[in-house]
Amino acid sequence: MAKMETLQAAAEELRRRFGQSPQAGVVLGSGLGGLADRVQEAQAVGYEELPGMKPSTAPGHRGRFVLGKLGGKTVLLMQGRLHLYEGHTMEEIVFPVRLMGLLGIRALVVTNAAGGVNLSYRVGDLMLMEDHINLMGTNPLIGPNLDCLGERFPDMSRAYSPALRALAKAQADRMGLELREGGYAGLTGPSYETPAEIRMLRILGADAVGMSTVPEVIAARHMGIEVLGISLITNMAAGVLDQTLSGEEVIAVGRERGSALQALVEGVLEEMEL
Ligand code: HPA
């Protein structure tokens, strides 16, 4: 089946299963899936139940869509995302984002676990993504443009919505939550970076590093969807502290500090005008 037809078929299946349209989408990162438990009137559809959709194999990622009420909005959550390091193609990674776009989301909140590159950051910090650097060496829009989704050369100068960032900052203030703001470097993984690579990323202007999010944001902007990105700093990046990095630590910090991020996302959804 051609790409657009597969997307349309999966969108049709989700519409049929859910029976209502989401106003916003949320992508839940490593260890951050707990927000799905706060959704009211929740309905779930496993990724494997949809044509064209790949399962998520990453640890801490459930691999299902959850639709329901959160912050007073009808929200579609991705409980678990797809990563390049799992062996998925860029096109497969952005398939669920495009699906959410076809279902009508106006805004997308992307969350992730990230390593702290900025030396003033601490484990457990939340960082509002103000921009990203795509160091994955590829782009989900490579190939024939899907004209019905967006234009060939989409603008990325305001990839992370200034309006949504302002909403998030105001919400964090109200909650008494300290919020960093910085740039995210997206690499393929799955090996963590070397200390030399982290020094390079710091010179490039990155504040945090991770293995996700960038493809999803590019695909969302292609479709004209407003994006809000929030990183949870689960560890200081390689070489910053005299210790090694582990995936278990990332997920454990996600579980411990995830509640602050979840409360922030819920509060922002409440304030969003959609
Ligand atoms: N590097 C890359 N990805 C990550 C990290 C890191 O230090 N922490 C969480 N995801």
Q: In the chain, what percentage of residues exceed pLDDT 90?
A: 84
Contact 213, 135 (CB under 8 A): no
Does residue 209's CB lie within 6 angstroms of at least one atom of ligand 1? yes
Distance 223 CA to ligand 1 centre (A): 28
Angle at 190 between CA 187 and CA 192, to 5 degrees: 75
Q: Residue 247: its pLDDT value, please?
A: 82
Distance 25 CA to ligand 1 centre (A): 23
Shortest-distance atom of ligand 1 to CA 116: 7
How do residues 264-274 score in pLDDT, each as one tens digit? 999 999 999 98
Tell which residue, 258, 272, 271, 270, has the closest CA to residue 126. 258
Give bridge partners of residue 77 from the DSSP assignment.
26, 66
Q: Residue 54: its pLDDT value, please?
A: 86
How do residues 135-171 score in pLDDT, each as one tens digit? 999 999 999 999 999 999 999 999 999 999 999 999 9
Can you give the pTM of this predicted structure? 0.95
